[in-house]
């Protein structure tokens, strides 16, 4: 479905006004929208690996963690308090520019993605999923234990006092007064994350229609046939892992600046499973579907807080609200996948060849 210019303009205007509208109901609603945008970035990055190249990656949250810890280490007092040599180099504290951190996060996460992809080139299906799952857990365990003998990540205590995001003299951690109208900090973050999401969508769309994108989709449909046609499947797989991971690194760096605190608990296996579920639920390989799946699965648990509370009261408190919220989310996912097995908004091309196989 293509939008004409008027529809595109109205949609863009609605996105710009959305945080201002939500702000009137409370900053908590804008914060939910901010986190939804971060998960959209993560889902779009994973869509390159799973949706385009057909490689099941259950350890994608590791790249999210790499970007977050890079931002946390370069924008907090932790390294200065731990290493006197670094404190001597930065007497005024480490307050790295965002314009430096974001490319570094993308590069470091991309390298980690290639390192993950290299040993898994000959693996497919369940075996690939198990190896990538292990990689994600290895990164989380490393972050949890690198507090001795040298304290690098501060272990399970996490890293706090992380600088808010600063860009072109604008502090996103403080509210902004503009023409007598107050714009909350969470609203400023919304516009920043929205700009990044638009950039990721444009890059993903251009890649999808390029020679690289077509090569990935050929590998997804039939790797042996793709190799027989002269496609270098090894390099294409590594490129998919690296490029998808770089988007995860950027999203992780934004998450650290937004939260101001990170710990290994934020990068559990459940997060990886949820990101995969966003891609599958929305529609594998279809950008609008992936965005829809990410928004629904990231915002739905938060919205269900307002449903779980009354249901808990009806049972005289016998059901825990958080468990009930997870149950409702899982039931919603089951119903959707039973009724729409190819996702809420699938692409018309993906899987078309399978429709004729009975």
- Residue 180 pLDDT > 80: no
Mean of the per-residue pLDDT values of the chain: 89
CA 288, CA 294: separation in Å to the nearest integer?
10
Query: In this structure, are strands 181-183 and 176-178 parallel, antiparallel, or unpaired?
Result: antiparallel
For the segment 39-58, the average pLDDT, to the nearest whole number, is 94
**Reported confidence tier of residue 341, pLDDT bands at 50, 70, 90:** confident
Q: Tell me the C-alpha to C-alpha distance, in Å, between residue 272 and each of 19, 30, 129, 222, 332.
A: 27, 24, 11, 26, 19
- CB under 8 Å to 251, separation ≥6 — which residues? 38, 41, 42, 45, 64, 67, 196
The region of weakest confidence among 12-21, 77-86, 309-318 is 309-318
pLDDT at residue 332 in the model: 81
For the segment 191-217, the average pLDDT, to the nearest whole number, is 95
Q: Answer for the pair 261, 159: CB distance below 8 angstroms, yes or no.
A: yes
CA 183, CA 308: separation in Å to the nearest integer?
31
- Radius of gyration of the chain, Cα coordinates, nearest whole angstrom: 21
- Residue 196 pLDDT > 90: yes
Number of neighbours of residue 202 by Cβ within 10 angstroms: 10
Assessment of whether the complete model's pTM goes beyond 0.95: no
CA 280, CA 270: separation in Å to the nearest integer?
15
SS3 label, residue 91:
coil
**Reported confidence tier of residue 4, pLDDT bands at 50, 70, 90:** confident
Going through the chain in order, the beta strands assigned E by DSSP cover 166-167, 170-171, 176-178, 181-183
- Residue 9 pLDDT > 50: yes
pLDDT at residue 333 in the model: 82
- CB under 8 Å to 29, separation ≥6 — which residues? 22, 23
* SS percent in the chain: helix, strand, coil, step 5: 70, 5, 25
SS3 label, residue 77:
coil
The label of the residue with tokens 């570094």 reads 104
For the segment 298-324, the average pLDDT, to the nearest whole number, is 75
**Reported confidence tier of residue 23, pLDDT bands at 50, 70, 90:** confident
What six digits make up the tokens of 244? 């998808």
For the segment 7-25, the average pLDDT, to the nearest whole number, is 89
pLDDT at residue 3 in the model: 60
- CB under 8 Å to 317, separation ≥6 — which residues? none
Give the chain's length. 358
The region of weakest confidence among 34-38, 114-118, 183-187, 328-332 is 328-332
């Amino acid at each position: 479905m293509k939008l004409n210019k008027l529809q595109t303009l109205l949609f863009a205007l609605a996105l710009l006004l959305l945080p201002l509208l939500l702000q009137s109901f409370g900053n908590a609603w804008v914060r939910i929208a901010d986190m939804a945008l971060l998960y959209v970035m993560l889902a779009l990055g994973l869509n390159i690996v799973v949706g385009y190249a057909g490689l099941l990656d259950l350890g994608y949250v590791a790249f999210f963690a790499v970007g977050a810890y890079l931002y946390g280490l370069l924008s907090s007092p932790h390294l200065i308090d731990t290493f006197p040599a670094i404190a001597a180099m930065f007497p005024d504290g480490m307050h790295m520019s965002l314009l430096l951190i974001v490319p570094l996060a993308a590069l470091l996460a991309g390298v980690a993605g290639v390192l993950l992809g290299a040993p898994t080139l000959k693996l497919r299906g369940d075996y690939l999923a198990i190896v990538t799952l292990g990689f994600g857990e290895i990164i989380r365990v490393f972050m949890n234990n690198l507090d001795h003998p040298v304290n690098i990540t501060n272990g399970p205590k996490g890293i706090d006092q992380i600088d808010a995001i600063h860009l072109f003299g604008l502090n996103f951690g403080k509210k902004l007064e503009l023409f007598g109208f107050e714009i909350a900090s969470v609203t400023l973050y919304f516009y920043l994350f929205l700009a990044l999401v638009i950039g990721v969508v444009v890059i993903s769309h251009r890649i999808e229609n390029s020679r690289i994108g077509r090569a990935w989709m050929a590998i997804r449909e039939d790797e042996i046939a793709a190799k027989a046609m002269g496609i270098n499947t090894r390099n294409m797989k590594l490129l998919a892992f690296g490029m998808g991971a770089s988007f995860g690194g950027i999203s992780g760096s934004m998450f650290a600046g937004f939260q101001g605190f990170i710990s290994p608990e934020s990068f559990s296996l459940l997060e990886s499973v949820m990101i995969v579920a966003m891609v599958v639920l929305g529609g594998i390989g279809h950008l609008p579907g992936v965005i829809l799946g990410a928004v629904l699965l990231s915002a739905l648990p938060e919205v269900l807080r307002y449903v779980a509370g009354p249901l808990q009261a009806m049972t005289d408190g016998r059901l825990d609200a958080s468990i009930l919220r997870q149950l409702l989310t899982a039931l919603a996912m089951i119903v959707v996948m039973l009724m729409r097995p190819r996702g809420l908004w699938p692409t018309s091309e993906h899987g078309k060849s399978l429709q004729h196989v009975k």
